[in-house]
Structure 1
Amino acid sequence: MSYQDIRSTFKLISGGLSETIDDSPKEFVSASITDTRLMGVVSMCVHWRLPENSHLTDLHQFFYFDAEESGFETYRSVLGNGGPSEVQEINDIEDYLMGGLGGKRVILTEREVRYMLQSYVDLNLRSGLSLPEDKDEYEFMLSPRVRLTDSEEYVLMCKQCPGLDSPYQVINYFLMRCVGKDFGAAKFLTKGYVRTNLFPNHKGATLLRNVIEDSPDAVSGSNTDYHVTDDDKDFGTFNTFKSYMCESLIEYSGKFFLLITQITLDHLKIVKYEKISEFQVSAAEASMMTSRPEFITVTDLVPSAPEFDRHTTKLTSKSMVTDYENGQLFMIFQPHNDHVKNATYLLNDDVLGVYYLLEDNQLILASYNLSDIRRMELDLAESSMAPYIVPVSKYEFKDPVLFDFINSSFDDFEDFVATITKPPAE
């Protein structure tokens, strides 16, 4: 199981508020959204004031939207009067919903908030997807209908997207949106007419890996043509085109395919997208393409150690927690999406690392690179858990092994390592 498998199980427990909220007048206070739309998901939080309530005066709502598959996926809420316990709950929800997205928060207007929710509710209804529970808490936002002009829609889309400053960043985002069948977001990255659905026979897929190289060819091909205009000539922009070859590994329904395309940019806008070839690859071949080293530090917690949870260290405070048969995994994400700017994009490069706590108090730290495993070791050393930690061992593996261990019958990592490194019998 990969980090993506863990992320795909991400669910939140729905909120539950006092029944008095339904009929209480609400005044909009503030709202924000993550600038992660080009990753396929966004999270939105909204603050309302309930002026006629004597005690429960503030409503905080949290929404998680998936543009590819799940639509309006998650809803959480906090109703109260701003007390310390509510502030902590709000912070916990924000960390849990937004901490793994790697984006910044951008301010929204009330009209934009209502439009966002209405759009994703419509998506769920069109796609036959159920809405999150506690609809009575957000139903007041569904009417009256909000209609934005083209200009207003563009402004809202800009708010949901990060600043673009790299050709690799533009290409990787574009291919992510195209293979995910999220063509509306893909069009945001284009200039002029660009055909985006070059692989209609494939289902919506996940981009596991993408390798970008400079193309020896100039603007060529027949899928999408960009014609130099008089404005281009007047402003001297007709020589700003640059082409790139892309080798994209995608996955859906347990199948893996390699797509070869050529993409041409004019500055940071895509003006041509050409299909070169495609072919299916085996799971073993896909695994080789996405493999990388894994650094693991093994420790033990002494019997008197306090409980290890999301509040134990600074890094775990924003982690995604998943329970397994023999332990609990804390997945920690990078606070940014800079991995999208790399010439070689790998899906899970947004993961900083994981803590895995076994039932017998063995604590495992794992990361894909040396600097991040050292950062995690320092994070643990600076936490309240430090006096209870007993170092055991450190490993560097050529290929990732942690999830093999998690899904094995072993309950001790040292025993697992001894088995996988044991030479075959002659």
Structure 2
Amino acid sequence: MKNIKPKFKIIRGGKTNPKISQTFYSAIATRTRLMGVIALKVHWITTENKNFVQWFLLDAEEHGIYDYASILTFNENELDLYTDRFMGSLGGGKVSISEEDVIYLIKNYGRLNLKFNQPLPPPSFEYDFIIKRKNQLDIQGQEALTAKIYEKIESPIQLVNFFLMKVVANDLPGSRYLYCGEDLNIKLVDKASILLKNTVKLVEEHCDRALYTAKSIIDSDSGYINVVTLVETKKAEDEFRVKSVKVVDKFQVPYELIYKEIKKQEHILVYRIGSCEALERELLIIKPKLLKYEFINGLMFVEYRKNNDHVKNEEYYLGADLLAIYFISDFDEFIICYYDENDMNELQNLLNYIKSKGMLSKPKEIVVEGSVIYQYAQNLEEDFMTFINNIVVTNEIDTDV
């Protein structure tokens, strides 16, 4: 699955004016700093007693302020829905933060845009008043904010996965946060890269310390790399930190071998439907937090898991936080893709609900090695069954799912 950060579109309730005076009301942030992206919601009240709400995506991995949306409205009821859609896909908890915290975050991530030569997402004049504010957060306040937005490390396995994820992303503040040794001088890649898979195994442990070996598969600017490291962890004050790290081996790997290691089966259900518009409406009634994307062949809706517990696994995979992809094609097909057979139980409530509306035919079930749904979404116009029969040899059976 591609590591694509979603771009969000919010329907504005009114035009914003950079000269409008506003008073800070509240702000929340996702506790997802170690995943690389924080979602931030800032709520202001204007002099006309309107709600001016801003949503930001803050990307620590060589970007800065990645995405932005806003709304100006008297109606507060629509705010929760937009907030869920903007913040829900990151999988972490949410914490309240102060106005000083907001100013500190926006100013600092705005500096990253300059550092990495990334444009500020438009319309930047709407949040320019925040960037121009003076930072009032002292060292103690910055430490308190860090404790809020960073995930709590609950196990050495989770620590090793997060730490190597940050090292691979060239996220120095993130990796330093997880490190308690004397000098951190490990550098695995020149440019920020993606950790595709990480396999962590215990070598030995003694009291509050343990030694792990980690085999990492990295998608870098220079190709695919396999890296083996020894990571020593230490438990201190109910949290785990990396005490030392050493590179044991590092070598290039051809794509064919990488693909065999990281590919997963894609389970696909294909239904014939009568009305695409009616199905979309019912889908969003039962799953209002889905992320929506428009493609050549129809509409894609993506559902992520409610947490980031996949980082706690001995085998970490990029994209393991994905629960399902729903695609409504322009050829009157409803396509459901999932990647773990155990997730069928999660999908059953949705299927039962839509079936009760009399909207689904008897499905075809297809299992493919790797993922094809993005390829289909961007393909020339044709129905999914024609597409799948042309590109892969499938195991197709009738089912009463």
Partner of 1:277 in structure 2?
249
Tell me, in whole angstroms, the C-alpha distance in 2 between the residues paired with 1:20 and 1:360: 39
Mapped pair 1:62 → 2:55? yes
8 Å contact from structure 2 (residues 282, 354) kept in 1: no
In 2, Cα distance between the equivalents of 1:422 and 1:372?
Answer: 21
Q: Work out the CA distance in 2 between the residues paired with 1:404 and 1:74.
A: 25
Q: Residue in 1 aligned with 2:110?
A: 121
Whole-angstrom CA distance in 2 between matches of 1:409 and 1:142 = 44
Call closer, same or farther: CA 1:353–1:21 in 2, change over 3 Å: same
Q: CA deviation at 1:138?
A: 1.6
* Residue 381 of structure 1: aligned partner: 352
Percent identity between the two aligned chains: 25
Q: 2:209 maps to what in 1?
A: 241
The aligned counterpart of 1:29 is: 25
Establish whether residue 327 from structure 1 lines up as the match of residue 315 from structure 2. no
Matched with 1:251 is: 219
Report the counterpart of residue 398 of structure 2 in structure 1.
Answer: none
Cα deviation digits, residues 49-86 of structure 1 (max 9, x gap)? 22x32xx52211111111113310112111122x2xx5
TM-score (structure 2 length as normaliser): 0.89
1:172 corresponding residue in structure 2? 161
Q: Deviations over 1:214-257 (max 9, x none)?
A: 125x7xxxxxxxxxxxxxxxxxxx84210100001111337211
Gap regions ≥5 residues in structure 2: 396-401
Quote the Cα distance in structure 2 between the aligned partners of 1:71 and 1:167.
29
- Does the 8 Å CA contact 2:63/2:116 hold for their aligned counterparts? no
Does 1:413 pair with 2:381? no
Instruction: Render the CA deviation track for 1:343-381: whole Å, top value 9, x for unaligned.
Output: 000011000011112111111111111122342243132
The correspondence of residues 220-369 of structure 1 with structure 2, limited to 5 A, is 239-253=207-221, 255-267=223-235, 268-303=240-275, 306-309=277-280, 312-313=283-284, 316-369=287-340
* Corresponding residue number in structure 2 for 1:74: 67
Task: Answer yes or no: is the 8 Å Cα contact 1:264–1:273 preserved in 2.
Answer: yes
Q: 1:80 to 1:414 in 2, by over 3 A?
A: closer
- Provide the C-alpha distance between the structure 1 equivalents of 2:54 and 2:378, rounded to a whole number of angstroms: 36
Does residue 207 (structure 1) correspond to residue 200 (structure 2)? The answer is: no
Contact 2:297–2:378 under 8 Å retained in 1: no
Q: Counterparts of 1:94-109 in structure 2 under 5 Å?
A: 94-109=83-98
In structure 2, what is the Cα distance between the partners aligned to 1:306 and 1:384? Answer: 16
Structure 1 CA distance, aligned partners of 2:207 and 2:83? Answer: 46
Residue 77 of structure 2 aligns with which residue?
87
Q: Is the 8 A contact 1:291 1:399 kept in 2?
A: yes
**Structure 1 counterpart of 2:33, one-letter code:** R
Counterpart-to-counterpart distance in 1, 2:135 and 2:119? 22
Alignment size in residue pairs = 390
Structure 1 counterpart of 2:134, from 135, 140, 145: 145
What SS is found at the alignment partner of 2:120? coil
Residue-by-residue CA offset, 1:100-156 (whole Å, 9 max, x unaligned): 100111010111111111111111122222112222322222233214333222211
In 2, the alpha carbon distance for the partners of 1:203 and 1:210 equals 19
- Find the aligned partners of 2:149 and 2:215 in 1 and give their Cα distance: 27
SS in structure 1 of the partner of residue 361 of structure 2: strand
Q: Provide the rounded CA distance (Å) in 1 between the counterparts of 2:363 and 2:355.
A: 19
Secondary structure of the corresponding residue to residue 204 of structure 1: coil
For residue 397 of structure 1, report the CA deviation from its aligned partner.
3.5
CA shift, 1:385, in A, is 7.5
Instruction: State how far apart, in whole Å, the 1-side matches of 2:343 and 2:185 are.
Output: 36
2:37 corresponds, among 37, 41, 54, to 41
* CA deviation profile, 1:164-194 (whole Å, cap 9, x unmatched): 2111111111111110000101111111324
> Matches of 1:20 and 1:410 in 2, distance apart?
39
Residue type of the alignment partner of 1:165: E
For residues 422 and 385 of structure 1, the distance between their equivalents in structure 2, rounded to whole angstroms, comes to 30
Question: Per-residue displacement from partner, 1:365-422 (whole Å, max 9, x unpaired)?
Answer: 1111112234224313224874111122223334444345445557333344544328
The 3-state SS of whatever aligns with 2:130 is: helix
TM-score between both structures, scaled by the size of structure 1: 0.84
In structure 2, the CA distance between the partners of 1:318 and 1:18, relative to structure 1 (3 Å rule), is closer
User: Is 35-44 or 293-302 further displaced after alignment?
Assistant: 293-302
SS at match of 1:378: helix
Indicate the residue corresponding to 2:7 in structure 1.
11
Higher-strand-fraction structure: 2
The letter for the 1-side match of 2:32 is T
